[in-house]
Amino acid sequence: MRHGKSEPDPTLAHATRDEITVCEPSRRFDQRIWCGFEIYTSLIKSTAEEARYLYDIYTSLSCKSPGAVGLTDGLAIVDLSTPFEAGQLRRKCQREHLFPVTLAETILRTRVQDAEASVASDKRHILNSIAGAQDLDEQPLENHENYERVNHLLRGRFAVGVWRAAVDARNYALCQKLSAALCESGLDEIKFELAECGRLTHHMGCFTPALCGNIEVRA
C-alpha cells in the first residue's frame, strides 16, 4: 500500500516512496501472496531500479492499549523531535518496543513461495515475476534464489526492529533466531539503540555472529 500522496501522519508516512504491510496479530503474517509481492517490490526490485521504496510493518496493539505500532524503515517523522541522531534512534527504539514479539515466530518462518492466493493465477504470476520468468503463465518454480532473497531480507528487517525488545524480555531463544535472521539477511547496515541495555552482555554470544560482512553498528 502506498501512502505517499496522503496527508502526512507522523506515526506512519515518512517518505514519498513507502510500502506498508499491515498484519493482524491473530493471523499468519505470510498468508497473502500479494503481501509477498509488495515486499519484493519494496525491498529488491525498487533497489535494482534505483528507485528504492521504504518498507514498514504495522500491526494493532492490544484491546487494552488501542492504536497501532510499526517497525519503520529508518526514522519516522515522530522520531525527529530531537536534532541528535542518538536521541532519534532512542525514540525509534521506544516506539518500536511496543511491537508484539508474539508475531516474531510467524514472520521468521515466512516463505513467499508458501503464501496463499484466492485466485490461483495471481500466485503463479507473482512467483514468476519474482523469479524473473519471461512467461508469467508458466508453472512457477518451487524454489528460486529470489524467493530466498525476499524471505531473508524480510526476516532481517524484522529482526532489527524487535531484537532489543527480545533482549529486554530475556527471550534468549528468540534472540538466537533473530541473530540468525540478521546473519542471513544481506543487510549491509543495521542500527540499534543499546543505551541502558543492562541485559546486553548476557546475549552477546548470540548477537555477535550476526555482525558478519560489511555491517556498520552505531550504538
Radius of gyration of the chain (CA): 17
pLDDT digits (tens, 9 = 90+) for 31-47: 678 878 888 888 787 66
Q: How far apart are CA 89 and CA 194, in angstroms?
A: 9
Give the range of the structural domain holding residue 61, as residue numbers without chain letter. 18-218
Residue 5 lies in a domain: no
Domain count, the chain: 1
Residue 3, domain member (yes or no): no
In a domain, residue 196? The reply is: yes
Task: Indicate if the pLDDT at residue 18 is higher than 80.
Answer: no
State the pTM of this model.
0.77
Q: How confident is the model at residue 135 (pLDDT cuts 50, 70, 90)?
A: very high
- H/E stretch holding 56: strand 54-60
| Set of cell numbers at residue 25 | 496479530
Coil, helix or strand at residue 168: helix
Read off the C-alpha cell for 211.
Answer: 555482525
Residue 186 CB-half CA count within 13 A: 11
146 assigned to some structural domain: yes
Report the pLDDT value the prediction gives residue 27, as an integer from 0 to 100. Answer: 60
In a domain, 11, yes or no: no
**Is 4 a member of any domain?**
no
CB 163 within 8 A of CB 178: yes
Non-local CB neighbours of 118 within 8 Å, separated by 6+ positions = none
Upper half-sphere CA count for residue 209 (Cβ side, 13 Å): 12
In a domain, 8, yes or no: no
* CA torsion through residues 44, 211, 90, 161, sign: positive
The model's confidence at residue 15, banded by pLDDT at 50, 70 and 90, is very low
